[in-house]
Structure 1
Amino acid sequence: MQYNSSSKITGIGAYLPQAILSNHDLEKMVDTNDEWILRRTGVRERRIAQKDEFASDLAINAVENLLKMQSTAVEGVDMIIVTTFTPDHLTPSVSALVQGHFDIKNTGTMDINSACTGFAYAVCVADSLITAGSFKKVLIVSSEVLSKIVDYTDRNTCILFGDAAVAVVVEKAEDKGCILASHFTSDGKMAENVACSALSDSVNGRRLEKKGQFQQEGKFLYEYVVRNIPEGVNRLLEKAGLSLSEVDWFVPHSANMRMIEALVKRLEYPMEKTLTSNEYYGNTSSVTIPLSLWKAIEEGKIKPGQKLVLYGFGGGLTHGGIVLEWK
């Protein structure tokens, strides 16, 4: 299948809040222990935003880090896309706050709320805008402050989540772009299994027990991911005209290490070629995939010409991803 991409990723920066919440810290808060958390999730620690730190603050700091690596990163940006389901406000958008902080002229702004699939959606949207010829340079920032909505009396959820932000620049490529294929799907009939209330406290007729706090059905999600995501990945690869053996790196949403291990086993893909970020940062929703990329780039793992599958899944329910060739 021919995919007419005209964009490539040209820069990446990250921000991790200073405060660390370790498994031993959680032992003092809920009925849990380090061994139990590691065995069930693979998470050792996670970063937590300060009380006065919100998604826009993390996003701005991620862009600042990007600018340290690439001083001209925001010059010429004509669209800013922020992925988050933990925004500062219902309105204004986090993307507008980022634009205002850096005073980037003549740029559009939009937030995407697709939970853990958000970054894959954002890259696909950015590539589509550039390929259509409407834009030349898009700034994507994934930023989440899950600590603001997690119930720290619920040991099944509070052990999983952390806060982080990653900023990525996507620009018009002079030759063929890096995006080889994309595939997305959703199942809103199951939306109540991953939810956080705002104006309404019910989803699909099911009343949420804790208003303003994140709730999820862990067992249901584990079974859903292991059962459905391999098919989604294979459909994505079919669109790209690739086999999984031709993929250099698999970058799934880092929800839970046990879940990822079960997923790659079902796919028959090596765990050592799977990039994750949850061991020291926890589940950061839409940030996990770009955070895994940032971490792998810092470690020198990703090389030009390599093919990567980025695949997210989570609230909506949504899942989907992209295949890209690193340039």
Structure 2
Amino acid sequence: MPASVIAATGLFTPEQSISNAELVEAYNAWAEAENARNAEAIAAGEMDALTPSSAEFIEKASGIKRRFVMDKAGVLDPQRMAPRLEPRSNDELSVLAEMAVKAARQAIAAWGKDVSEIGAVLCAASNMQRAYPAMAIEVQQALGIEGFAFDMNVACSSATFGLKTAADFIASGSVKAVLMVNPEICSAHLNFTDRDSHFIFGDVATAVIVESGETAGPGGWDILGTRLKTVFSNNIRNNFGFLNRTEADTSAPPPSSSDAVGGQTDKLFVQQGRKVFKEVVPMVAEMIVDHAGHLDIDPTTLKRLWLHQANINMNDLIARRVLGRDPEPGENVIILDDYANTSSAGSIIAFHLHHDGFDPGDTGLICSFGAGYSAGTVFVRKRP
């Protein structure tokens, strides 16, 4: 069976960014207004006053210092607390596809080959802006690619699931090259009025070209092995879907994550962070070590880990368990301080920005984990 190669990657970063200080200022203004509005109930002990957030709290809890977003003004408006993404007509390129196309064109330019050699497009992401037609097919059309395309959503693990799917298509002989894109507008699904999570996510798009080893030129990365795992859990959840109307209010339109403050918060991102940490860290660390053993790779010799950028404390602990020691500088790549959690794109951003310094034969790991629970491991080796 043909081997698979990561031949090129691309990254689209939005122009707008929000610092922790800016985010905290908006949240605290909203919380102060809410406390004032509910002053009588708070005084009567019927409800608790909202606690202010702080930049120090955010950085200690997550390692995040800022995040890129598609719309800064809406997020920082205390009367709104959500991005304002203007609707586009059906004849216009959708915002998610536009982000993906920009990342894809960068990857295609780095690849140096014609798009006619790409046989499939996968859009693997958490935060799709619509159910259908598939975002992947829109991206395919915009880039002039033949063949087939489809979407896949495995939450934050979508990119590693996409890499395995691409590698499997190549191994089966279905195609010679696959374009995988990971556009994420996470800000549209984040509850910016929740102190415990209002700082978590950012927006971005990444792209990866996976090619058959039979046609790949020099350079790139051999995919040594891929493994996927899922275990059902409600500890990370987003209920925004087609069941948005309740029996008590069937006349109301479905709530939108772009609406002003209020509405049903379970239609946005929710998680039980402590449970996620306790359950996901050992699951992922054990999965990595076991998969490495199956591939006859000593995990302690991995030159670099490109983990999902969820939380610096999770990443540090997983790295220590895999390497059997504290990581040396540069071994466990962290980009969430600048990008925050970008869901499926995080591990690909880390790989795209920090794959330098490898000699042919050096081995690294791309790994993601998230809601589902879901996890994926992709071991890669630098090619001559």
TM-score by length of 1: 0.90
Counterpart residue type for residue 15 of structure 1: F
Please report the RMSD computed on the Cα atoms of aligned residues, expressed in angstroms. Answer: 2.2
Contact 1:54–1:145 (CA under 8 A) maintained in structure 2: no
CA 1:150–1:15 in 2, change beyond 3 Å: closer, same or farther? same
Equivalence for 1:101? 142
SS at match of 1:29: helix
For residues 73 and 294 of structure 1, the distance between their equivalents in structure 2, rounded to whole angstroms, comes to 21
Unpaired runs of 5+ residues, structure 1, are 203-207
Match of 2:286 in 1: 231
**Which one of 1, 6, 11 corresponds to residue 3 of structure 2?**
6
CA deviations on 1:225-278 (whole Å, 9 max, x unpaired) are 223221111111122111112211112111011111122233324433112321
Contact 1:118 1:286 in 2 (8 A): yes
Structure 1 residue 200 and structure 2 residue 200: aligned? no
Asked if residue 59 in structure 1 is aligned to residue 100 in structure 2, the reply is yes
Q: Which amino acid aligns with 1:76?
A: E
Which position in structure 2 is the counterpart of 1:39? 60
For the residues of structure 1 that align with 2:116 and 2:65, how far apart are their CA atoms?
38
CA displacement at 1:111 relative to structure 2:
1.1
Structure 2: gaps spanning 5 or more residues? 28-51, 72-84, 87-93, 246-262
Tell me the SS of whatever aligns to 1:191. coil
Q: Distance in 2 between matches of 1:323 and 1:168?
A: 15
Q: Does 1:130 align with 2:170?
A: yes
Q: How many residues align?
A: 315
Give the secondary-structure state (helix, strand or coil) at the position aligned to 1:25.
Answer: helix
* Range with greater deviation from structure 2 (5-14 or 259-268): 259-268
Letter in 2 for 1:242: I
Equivalent residue for 1:205?
none
Cα 1:303–1:212 change in 2 (3 A) is: farther
Q: Separation in 1 of the partners of 2:308 and 2:18?
A: 21
Asked which structure has the greater CA Rg, the reply is 2
CA contact (8 A) 1:8 1:172 kept: yes
Instruction: Establish whether residue 212 from structure 1 lines up as the match of residue 209 from structure 2.
Output: no
TM-superposed deviation, 1:76: 1.3
Q: Give 2:314's aligned residue.
A: 259
Aligned match for 1:274, one of 332, 336, 341: 332
Q: Please identify, of 69-78 and 249-258, the stretch whose mean Cα deviation from structure 2 is larger.
A: 69-78
1:138-157 matches, cutoff 5 A: 138-157=178-197
Deviation at 1:199, TM superposition (A): 1.7
TM-score between the two structures when normalised by the length of structure 2: 0.77
- Provide closer, same or farther for how the CA distance between residues 282 and 36 of structure 1 changes in structure 2, counting only shifts above 3 A: same
